[in-house]
């Protein structure tokens, strides 16, 4: 058992910020003032200057296993996540080969068991872009979401069937409404492909129902479309990333290929709209979209898309939203904990007696400099290297066990 003393609980589920002690084993045993340590307590953590939150959950992570293990593995990514304060993450299926059959999912299960935090798998929506995967079978293997990662679903019949299956089996279809070689072959290059595809997907959702999530929202027009759909009460959720509510297309001139992402960095108006949508509840989740690459070629045309994010998401979110833009702390933490847990039906997400003891202990006031060379990720492709931030995860606790303790 571990006793966490004098911490400030920040729990979106109970909507409370208050000083309380927490006694944990594999589950949260007791929350209250001045808990006396029972004989079974092995460690007492003095959290006097820290906040205690539910363990962070990242719903959008690329771990490169199988196929590109030199960039990241499930194990290395789990360490990176733990150092970023994450107790759970969902690995996306744009591996080599794509995760689009039960056999490919089964091969990764031993690696999942070796991870130091909870790692969940997602499956592709389509097999070879031509037919719907066996959603029922994938769910029996522990898959928690379905996404044709990096590619939109352009066949309306497949999307319709996928949404019908998501309703039947209570799972999530998460769409990447973005440009990709697959999309451009059929639709041509289109800067505004994101809102166009989101609008079309919502039309299908309105007709058949289901559970739809829109990945990494990046445009003002997309925000408006999602907001309108939500006001209608449609079963729709969405996520965005720190780089899409912090950086603009002008930052490409400063950071070069490390700022090359998909969807691309947008205008100041888009960034403001995305940030406002977080505050208004139109966007539900903040996700890292952790996309590791060893060393990007310096030529823009040859550089792959993506940046690492597991170890920067929390400090960037706290610095940009809570410190700079005065977002309520409870609301901000909910987008990293409670909302992902509820939407994807994952353990954790709340600080309540009897719940899984996944916790993140954070020093809100610690100022520090992001230095990617010290990261646990195999890759270092981040435009945020050298940024000064405020707020640092100090303890990451998974199932009552300390996975990471930092200074």
Question: What is the distance between the alpha carbons of residues 26 and 140, in angstroms, rounded to a whole number?
Answer: 25
Length in residues, the chain? 407
Question: What is the distance between the alpha carbons of residues 311 and 3, in angstroms, rounded to a whole number?
Answer: 26
Nearest CA to 238 among 179, 204, 203, 286?
286
DSSP class of residue 87 equals E
Catalytic option among 11, 100, 284, 289: 289
Question: What is the distance between the alpha carbons of residues 74 and 76, in angstroms, rounded to a whole number?
Answer: 6
Q: Is 289 a residue of the active site?
A: yes
Q: Are 197 and 42 in contact (CB under 8 A)?
A: no
Return all residues near 79 (Cβ < 8 A) that are at least 6 apart: 116, 376
Q: Give the DSSP letter string of 216-252.
A: S---HHHHHHHHHHHHTT-SEEEEE-HHHHH--GGGH
DSSP class of residue 307 equals B
Question: What is the distance between the alpha carbons of residues 355 and 290, in angstroms, rounded to a whole number?
Answer: 28
Q: Are 61 and 72 in contact (CB under 8 A)?
A: no
For the purposes of burial, counting CB atoms within 10 Å of the CB of 16, is it exposed (0-12), middle (13-18) or buried (19 or more)? middle
Nearest CA to 279 among 311, 325, 243, 346?
325
Question: What is the distance between the alpha carbons of residues 221 and 199, in angstroms, rounded to a whole number?
Answer: 10
Beta bridge partners of 51: 8, 362
Helix or strand holding residue 104 (H, E): helix 102-114
Nearest CA to 86 among 58, 113, 48, 51?
58
Q: Are 308 and 291 in contact (CB under 8 A)?
A: yes
Q: Which residues are catalytic?
A: 289
């Amino acid at each position: 058992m571990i006793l966490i003393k004098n911490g400030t609980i920040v729990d979106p589920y109970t909507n409370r910020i208050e000083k309380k002690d927490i006694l944990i084993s594999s589950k949260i045993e007791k929350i209250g003032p001045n808990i006396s340590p029972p004989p079974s307590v092995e460690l007492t953590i003095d959290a006097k200057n820290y906040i205690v939150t539910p363990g962070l959950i990242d719903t959008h992570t690329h771990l490169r296993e199988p196929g590109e293990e030199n960039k990241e593995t499930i194990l290395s990514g789990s360490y990176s996540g733990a150092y970023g304060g994450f107790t759970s993450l969902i690995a996306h299926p744009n591996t080599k080969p794509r995760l689009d059959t039960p056999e490919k999912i089964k091969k990764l299960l031993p690696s999942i068991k070796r991870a130091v935090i909870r790692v969940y798998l997602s499956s592709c929506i389509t097999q070879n872009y031509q037919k719907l995967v066996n959603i029922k079978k994938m769910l029996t293997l522990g898959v928690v979401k379905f996404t044709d990662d990096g590619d939109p679903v352009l066949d309306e019949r497949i999307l319709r069937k996928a949404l019908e299956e998501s309703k039947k089996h209570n799972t999530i279809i998460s769409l990447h409404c973005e440009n990709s070689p697959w999309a451009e072959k059929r639709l041509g290059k289109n800067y505004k492909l994101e809102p166009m595809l989101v609008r079309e997907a919502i039309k299908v959702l309105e007709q058949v129902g289901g559970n739809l999530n829109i990945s990494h929202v990046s445009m003002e027009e997309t925000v408006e479309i999602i907001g309108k759909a939500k006001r209608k009460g449609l079963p729709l959720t969405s996520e965005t990333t720190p780089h899409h509510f912090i950086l603009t297309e002008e930052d490409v001139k400063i950071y070069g290929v490390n700022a090359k992402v998909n969807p691309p960095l947008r205008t100041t108006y888009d960034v403001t709209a995305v940030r406002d949508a977080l505050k208004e509840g139109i966007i539900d989740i903040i996700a890292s979209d952790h996309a590791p690459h060893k060393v990007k070629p310096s030529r823009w045309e040859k550089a792959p898309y993506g940046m690492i994010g597991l170890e920067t998401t929390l400090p960037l979110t706290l610095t940009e939203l809570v410190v700079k833009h005065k977002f309520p702390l409870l609301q901000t933490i909910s987008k990293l904990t409670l909302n992902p847990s509820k939407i994807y039906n994952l353990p954790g997400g709340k600080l309540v007696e009897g719940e899984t003891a996944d916790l993140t202990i954070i020093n809100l006031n610690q100022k520090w400099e992001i230095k990617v060379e010290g990261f646990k990720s195999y890759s270092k492709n981040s435009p945020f290297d050298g940024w000064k931030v405020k707020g640092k995860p100090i303890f990451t606790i998974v199932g009552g066990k300390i996975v990471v303790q930092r200074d």
